[in-house]
A and B are shown apart, each in its own frame.
Chain A
Amino acid sequence: MLSQYARRSIYSAPRLLRTYATPAGGNHTLLFLEHTNGAVDAASLSALTAAKQLNGKVTALVVGGEEAEVQKVVEEAKKLDGVSNVLYTSSPTYKNLLPEHLTPLVKSSLQSGSYTHLAAAHSTLAKSLLPRIAAQLDVPAVADVTSVTPSNDGATTFTRPIYAGNAIATVKAPASLSPKIFTARATAFPKAAASGSGVEATKVDDTPPVKGTEHIETKISVSDRPDLAVAGRVVSGGRALKDAETFKKVIDPLADVLGAAVGASRAAVDAGYVDNSLQVGQTGKVVAPELYIAVGISGAIQHLAGMKDSKMIVAINKDPDAPIHQVADLGYVADLYEAVPQLTEKLKK
Chain B
Amino acid sequence: MRPTAINRLRVLVPVKRCVDYAVKIRVVNGAVDTNVKHSMNPFDEIAVEEAVRLRERMGSKIEAITVLTIGPTKSQETLRTALAMGADTGIHVETKDTDAPEPLGIAKTIAALVKRDKPDIVIMGKQAIDGDQGMTGQMLAGLLEWPQGTQASKVVVRDNDKEVDVTREIDGGSETVRLTLPAIITTDLRLNEPRYASLPNIMKAKKKKIEKVTPESLGVSLTPVIETLGVSEPPKRVGGGKVESVDELVSKLKEAGVV
Report A's interface with B, CB cutoff 8 A: 5-6, 9-10, 12, 15, 96, 98-100, 103, 123-125, 127-136, 138-144, 157, 160-174, 177, 211-221, 227, 229, 233, 258, 266, 270, 275-277, 282-283, 290-291, 301-302, 308, 311-314, 320, 325-334, 339, 342-343, 346-347
* Residues on the B chain within 8 Å of A127, using CB: 134-135, 138, 150
Distance in Å: Cβ of B118 to nearest Cβ of chain A: 16
CB distance from B134 to the nearest CB of A (A): 6
User: Would you list 16 pairs from A and B whose C-beta atoms are within 8 A, ordered by A residue?
Assistant: A99-B148, A131-B103, A131-B138, A135-B138, A135-B139, A136-B143, A140-B104, A141-B135, A143-B132, A144-B132, A162-B131, A169-B231, A218-B174, A311-B258, A320-B242, A333-B242
Q: Are A212 and B233 in contact (CB under 8 A)?
A: no
Q: Does B73 contact A (CB under 8 A)?
A: no
Chain B nearest Cβ from A25, distance in angstroms: 24
**B199 contacts A by Cβ under 8 Å:** no
The answer on a CB contact under 8 Å between B130 and A162 is yes
How far is A233 from B132 in the complex, measured between Cα atoms in Å? Answer: 26
Contact residue among A103, A167, A312 (Cβ-Cβ distance under 8 Å from B256): A312
In the complex, A160→B226 CA distance in Å? 13
From B48-56, B58-66, B243-251, the one touching the partner chain is B243-251
Most buried by B among A216, A221, A266, A275: A216
A136→B142 contact, CB < 8 A: yes
Binds A, one of B2-10, B74-82, B88-96, B176-184: B176-184
Across the interface, A219 reaches (CB within 8 A) one of B21, B130, B175, namely B175
- Given contacts A9-B220, A217-B176, A277-B170, could you give 12 more A-B pairs where the C-beta distance is less than 8 Å? A5-B219, A99-B150, A128-B138, A136-B142, A136-B145, A144-B132, A170-B229, A219-B175, A290-B258, A291-B253, A314-B249, A329-B239
A166 touches B25 (CB 8 A): yes
Is B99 among interface residues, defined by CB-CB distance under 8 A?
A: no
Interface residues on B, range: 35 or more
Chain B residues closer than 8 Å to A211, beta-carbon distance: 180
In the bound complex, do residue B174 and residue A163 qualify as a contact, i.e. CB atoms below 8 Å apart?
no
Query: With contacts A221-B173, A283-B188 known, is A173 near B226, CB below 8 A?
Result: yes
Q: Is B133 an interface residue (CB 8 A)?
A: yes
Nearest Cβ on chain A to B107's Cβ, whole angstroms: 6
Distance (whole angstroms) from the CB of B122 to the closest CB of chain A: 14
- Please state if B176 and A282 are interface contacts (CB–CB under 8 Å): no
Asked if B219 and A6 sit within 8 Å, CB to CB, the answer is yes
Given A135-B140, A171-B229, A212-B180: A277 and B239 within 8 A (CB)? no
A131 touches B216 (CB 8 A): no
Across-interface contacts of B201 in A (CB, < 8 A)? none
Inter-chain contacts of A314 with B (CB < 8 A):
249, 253
Question: Distance in Å from the Cβ of B182 to the closest Cβ of chain A?
Answer: 9
Residues on B with C-beta less than 8 A from A100 are 147-148
CB-CB under 8 A from A313, the residues of chain B are 237
Interface of A is mostly: mixed
By the criterion CB–CB under 8 Å, are A139 and B104 in contact?
Answer: yes
Q: In the assembled complex, which residues on chain A have CB atoms less than 8 Å from the CB atom of B133?
A: 143
User: When the two chains form their complex, are residues B239 and A326 in contact, meaning their CB atoms are under 8 A apart?
Assistant: yes
- Tell which of A135, A177, A320 has the most Cβ of chain B within 10 Å: A135
Q: Which residues of B contact A163 (CB under 8 A)?
A: 19, 25, 32, 129-130, 132
- Inter-chain CA distance A329–B102, complex, in Å, is 37
Contact call A343/B129, Cβ cutoff below 8 A: no
B155 within 8 A of A: no
Which residue of A123, A164, A282, A283 has the most chain B CB atoms within 10 A of its CB atom? A283
Interface centre among A173, A220, A326 (most CB of B within 10 A): A220
B170, B179, B252: which contacts A124 (Cβ < 8 A)? B170
CA distance A330 to B136 in the complex (A): 40
Is the CB–CB distance between A217 and B225 below 8 Å? no
Taking CB atoms, residues of chain A closer than 8 Å to B188 are 283
Q: Are the C-beta atoms of B231 and A98 separated by less than 8 Å?
A: no
The residue from A103, A135, A161, A311 contacting B104, defined by CB atoms under 8 A apart: A135
Taking CB atoms, residues of chain B closer than 8 Å to A342 are 246
Would you give the shortest CB distance from B227 to chain A, in whole angstroms?
Answer: 5
Contacts of A312 in B (CB 8 A): 253, 256, 258
Interface centre among B190, B221, B242 (most CB of A within 10 A): B242
Instruction: Take A283-B189, A290-B258, A346-B250 as given contacts and tell me if A220 and B148 are in contact as well, using a CB distance cutoff of 8 Å.
Output: no
Indicate if the CB atoms of B173 and A218 lie closer than 8 Å: yes
| Residue from B19, B135, B225, B226 within 8 A of A131 (CB atoms) | B135
A128 x B148 contact (CB < 8 A)? yes
- Check: B200 CB closer than 8 A to any chain A CB: no
Contact of B177 among A98, A124, A138 (CB under 8 A): A98
5 closest cross-chain pairs (CB), A and B: A135-B142, A131-B138, A135-B139, A131-B135, A132-B142
Inter-chain contact B153/A276, CB cutoff 8 Å: yes
Residue of B nearest to A290 (CB): B258
Is A140 a contact of B147 with CB atoms below 8 Å? no
| Minimal beta-carbon separation of B87 from chain A (angstroms) | 24
| Given contacts A135-B104, A233-B258, A213 and B179 within 8 Å (CB-CB) | yes
Task: Report A-chain residues with C-beta under 8 Å of the C-beta of B228.
Answer: 169-172
Q: Say yes or no: B246 contacts A220, CB within 8 Å.
A: no
- In the complex, per-residue mask of B114-156: 1 if CB is within 8 Å of any chain A CB, else 0: 0000000000001101111111111111110111101101000
Quote the shortest CB–CB distance from A309 to chain B (angstroms): 9
Cα separation A333 to B253 with both chains bound (whole Å): 16
Q: In the complex, which residue of chain B has the Cβ closest to the Cβ of A338?
A: B246
